Amino acid sequence: MRRVLLVYGAGAIGRGYLPWVFSPQEFDYYYVETNPAIANLINTQKQFTTCRIRNGAYECMTVPVVQCFRPGEETAVIDKADAIVTAVGPRNIYPLSESIKGTTKPVICCENDASIPSLITTLTGNPNVVFAIPDVITSNTAPPELLNKDPLSIVTEDGTCYIDERVSYLGGNCIYINQDELSKQWMAKLYLHNTPHCIAAYLGYILQVNYLHESMKNPHVDRIVTGAMNEMQQLLAKKFFIDQQFIGWYADKELQRFRNSLLFDPISRVAREPFRKLAPNERLIGAAQLCVSCGIIPQNILLGIMAAFCYDNPADPDVNIKYLMDSLAPKDFLRIAMQLRPGEALYELLLKRWDNDIGTLRNLNDI
Amino acid sequence: MKAAVSAGSLLLEYSGDRVKTSPKESLRDIVTEVDMYAEKKVISILRKADPGCQILTEETGRLTGTRGDKLWIVDALDGTVNYVNHIPLYNVSISCVEKGNPVVGVIYNPVLGDLYYGAEGYGVYRNHVRIKVKDGVPGECLFAAAFSGKKYDPASRSEEFLAFEKVNDTSRGCLRTGSASLNLSYVAEGRLGGCWGKANKIWDIAAGIIIANLAGAHVEYHYLNPEKSLVSYAVAVPSAWDYLSGIVLPRK
């Protein structure tokens, strides 16, 4: 019997990757999407194309969609859904939780934040909310030859999706693991993927390239990103006692991924919202703080942090980082915008290296 | 922003000292030597960044410039009484007015590290976070009043107290924080539902007016006496506007 999947977010993960996990041959797909252009196009086409990269080539699948709702219109489908998947980003969790309040249907959170399932449980009262880690890079667009055939085309890696085993009855092309294993995978994703990934993006923005693989082609960028990866590897081994073999395998896999020229991972997507990534417990400042606390000098991550400070994309919601960088002295910027305290190690390190690191970033194009 | 933060750092530097005060128009209207230092700091930064601009400041008055279209309005220490009493509710307030309209506003509280800033077309923020008013009905809002620092006049003071009493008793309450710019920035951020002031000085509120306006507040202000830079104003979240203006603005 066919089952019903209600997916919040028809972006990179929701549209590009999820159909490879829960096959459209078994599930009827319904989406909820805030972007009216995407929602309208899905409803007009009643389908879209997702292409996964396998053996250096694209393998494409057409995904039929029953309907794509605007937020708030999906109430009737919540009752008949066999599962709800969220892939919306942390800023949209509150309105989403309002919509699904009252249901006890399983909710799978494909969010880049491990605290989201408990937040949704708190907001909705639904105990059946689990975490999932799509270990994959999915672009939110595709190369022109694919977009010409279908403007909704999207490209994804052939990744692995790890899901909390409490919903293993849903089946699908994924790996169900217990919460300890999920936690290990999350640590790896958080530090070995997220940190170097966004550093590659911020450096790419400085180089004025559009895609991550183009950024990684620059030898200075590759060296800095690889260096940041090494710093993260040291951290995971020292602080969290995660075994070296797993860490080494994961790190190599990630670097290959960043260099994958078929992926077309947009810089603007990965670098989006620098203030969120620079938050005290997040992938840049948070990661650097942990390194410092373990006696690791995160010099490559510091360069990544400086690159994030320079992300002045006028189309980004955090464009005010530019006003703050342009207006404030470095010591004031670190204190007011980054909430770092004068005297603490990371504040002093960033300040001491400020001019030198800005110089290094300016010279990225000198090869 | 640079000028506000630099002046704020200077205020903080002197805040532990015994500060020499001089009276102005009333017992509550005072000036300190630190006001003057901070103001000089702001002027020097503005002059360097925007040569030829006109500047209107609380202590020095109007400084002419070669460019008549742009005026910077500066209060290097809004909340002087709080400052001398070591109450951490004081701000540097700077705004830019073009053709009579405030277009840029910056308010900085150096103790709390809160930097509010906004400009027409650019949005409004506290530090790195975009802010907006939190709309709510008057019964669920907290308000704040800024009393005039002018010489005591029983008739007008009585009106101010009556309005204060009415708002205080028909809402979550009414504060008198001692800093108009603080009130306005708190409305912008959703901490207060509204604020008002009668016969305040333009430099107290110019930056806050634009910040609150950009954050979605309903703003109304008018000059009582342009020569003396005296203004009255009311600012509130949309759902509380009729309530607050009905109490504090003179009936037309």
Q: Which pLDDT tens digit goes with each residue over A183-220? A: 889 989 989 999 999 999 999 999 999 999 999 999 99
Q: Is the pLDDT of residue B25 over 80?
A: no
For residues A30 and A81, the answer to whether their CB atoms sit within 8 Å is yes
Q: Which of B6, B113, B128 sits opposite A324 (nearest CB)?
A: B128
Closest CA to A33 of A85, A88, A84, A77: A88
Q: What is the mean pLDDT of residues A324-346?
A: 94
Please give the share of chain B, as a percent, with pLDDT higher than 70: 91
Question: What percent of chain B is predicted at pLDDT more than 90?
Answer: 58
For residue B198, what pLDDT band results from cuts at 50, 70 and 90? confident
Q: Look up the pTM and report it.
A: 0.79
At residue B6, the pLDDT reads 93
Each residue of A170-184: pLDDT tens digit? 999 999 999 988 988
Cα separation of A187 and A181, whole Å?
10
Q: Calculate mean pLDDT across residues A30-47.
A: 96
- B114 band by pLDDT with thresholds 50, 70 and 90: very high
pLDDT at residue A237 is higher than 80: yes
Beta bridge partners of B31: B22
Q: Can you give the pLDDT at residue A197? A: 96
Residue B91 has pLDDT above 70, yes or no: yes
Size of interface A-B (CB pairs under 8 A): 34
Task: Check if B67 contacts A (Cβ < 8 Å).
Answer: no
- Determine whether the interchain pair B117/A275 forms a contact, defined as Cβ–Cβ distance below 8 Å: no
Q: Which residues pair with B118 in a beta bridge?
A: B105, B124
Do residues B114 and B185 touch, judged by C-beta distance below 8 A?
A: yes
B215 touches chain A (CB under 8 A): no
User: Any CB–CB contact under 8 A between B221 and chain A?
Assistant: no
Are B5 and A332 within 8 A, CB to CB?
A: yes
Q: Using a CB-CB distance cutoff of 8 angstroms, which residues of chain B are in contact with residue A335?
A: 113
By C-alpha distance, the chain B residue nearest A315 is B122
| Chain A hits for B117, Cβ within 8 Å | 323
DSSP tally for chain A: helices H, then strands E: 18, 10
Instruction: List Cβ neighbours of B231 (8 Å cut-off, separation of 6 or more).
Output: B197, B199, B200, B201, B202, B205, B221, B222, B223, B224
Mean pLDDT of B10-29: 72
- In our burial notation (b when 16+ CB lie closer than 10 A, e otherwise), range A330-347 reads ebbbbbbbbebeeeeebb
Q: How far is the C-alpha of A301 from the C-alpha of A280, rounded, in Å?
A: 14
Q: d(Cα B203, Cα B180) in Å, to the nearest integer?
A: 10
**pLDDT of A279-290, one tens digit each?**
998 999 999 999
Asked whether the predicted pLDDT for residue B252 surpasses 60, the reply is no
Average pLDDT over residues B212-218: 96
Residues of B in contact with A318 (CB under 8 A): 128
Confidence tier at B158 by pLDDT (50, 70, 90): confident
**Nearest residue of B to residue A332 by CA position?**
B5
Residues of A in contact with B113 (CB under 8 A): 335-336, 339
For A333, nearest residue in chain B (alpha carbons): B127
pLDDT at B75 > cutoff 90: yes
The chain B residue lying nearest A340, using CA atoms, is B113
Q: Hey, is A323 helix, strand or coil?
A: helix
Asked if the model's pLDDT at residue A258 lies above 70, the reply is yes
Question: What are the C-alpha distances in Å from A298 to residues A222, A270, A290, B94, B112?
Answer: 16, 21, 9, 39, 30
ipTM: 0.78
Q: Is the pLDDT of residue B206 over 60?
A: yes
pLDDT tier at B58 (50, 70, 90 boundaries)? confident
pLDDT class for A139, splitting at 50, 70, 90?
confident
- pLDDT band at A295; cut points 50, 70, 90: very high
Contact A337 B127 (CB under 8 A): yes
pLDDT at B13 (0 to 100): 87
At which residue do the structure tokens 């009043």 appear? B145
Q: Which residues does chain A have within 8 Å of residue B130's beta carbon, measured at their own beta carbons? A: 317, 320
Confidence of residue B251 (pLDDT cuts 50, 70, 90): low
Task: Specify the pLDDT at position A78.
Answer: 96
Once rounded to an integer, what is the mean pLDDT over residues B179-197?
96
Directed axis angle between helix A195-207 and helix A219-240, to 10°?
A: 160
pLDDT at B152: 59
* A45-62 pLDDT per residue, tens: 999 999 999 888 899 999
A:299-358 residues touching chain B, CB 8 A cutoff:
317-318, 320-321, 323-324, 327-329, 332, 335-337, 339
Model pLDDT, residue A254: 94
Nearest to A328 among B1, B122, B130 (CB): B1
B13 touches chain A (CB under 8 A): no
Residue among A273, A312, A327 with most chain B CBs within 10 A, to mutate: A327
